[in-house]
Amino acid sequence: MTAVLFMYDSIMAAEAKHSCYESSNVENFQAYLQHSGDHEIVRQFFMKHLPEKFIRIGADKSSLAVLGVGSGGGEVDVQVLSLMQSTVSTLPITADVVEGSTELVAKFKASVMKTDNLQKIPFSWHMMPSEEYIQKAKGRGDVKKFDFIHMIQMLYYVDDLAETIKFYHSLLNKNGIIMIIIESANSGWDMLWRTFPKDLCSETVPVYRSSLDIVASLKSLGLKYEERFIPNTCDITECFDPSSKTGQRLLSFLTFRGNFYQSFTPQIRADILNLLRSKCSTEKEGRVSFNSDLSCVFVYA
Kindly tell me if the per-residue pLDDT of 155 is higher than 70.
Answer: yes
Question: pLDDT: is 17 or 113 the higher one?
Answer: 113
Question: pLDDT: is 236 or 28 the higher one?
Answer: 236
Q: Domain limits of the chain? A: 3-186+206-233+293-300
Residue 264: φ, ψ to 5°: -130, 155
pLDDT band per the 50, 70, 90 thresholds, residue 1? very low
Question: pLDDT: is 120 or 25 the higher one?
Answer: 120
Kindly tell me if the per-residue pLDDT of 279 is higher than 80.
Answer: yes
pLDDT band per the 50, 70, 90 thresholds, residue 15? very low
Q: What is the pLDDT of residue 23?
A: 47
- Predicted TM-score (pTM) of the model is 0.88
Q: What is the mean pLDDT of residues 7-26?
A: 47
Question: DSSP character for 144?
Answer: P
Q: What is the pLDDT of residue 17?
A: 43
Q: What is the pLDDT of residue 25?
A: 64
Q: What is the 3-state secondary structure (H, E, C) of 6-45?
A: HHHHHHHHHHHCCCCCCCHHHHHHHHHHHHECHHHHHHHH
Q: What is the mean pLDDT of residues 45-53?
A: 96
Kindly tell me if the per-residue pLDDT of 70 is higher than 60.
Answer: yes
Q: What is the mean pLDDT of residues 194-212?
A: 89
* CATH top-level class of 3-186+206-233+293-300: alpha beta
pLDDT band per the 50, 70, 90 thresholds, residue 24? low
41 CB-near residues (< 8 Å, 6+ apart): 2, 230, 231, 232
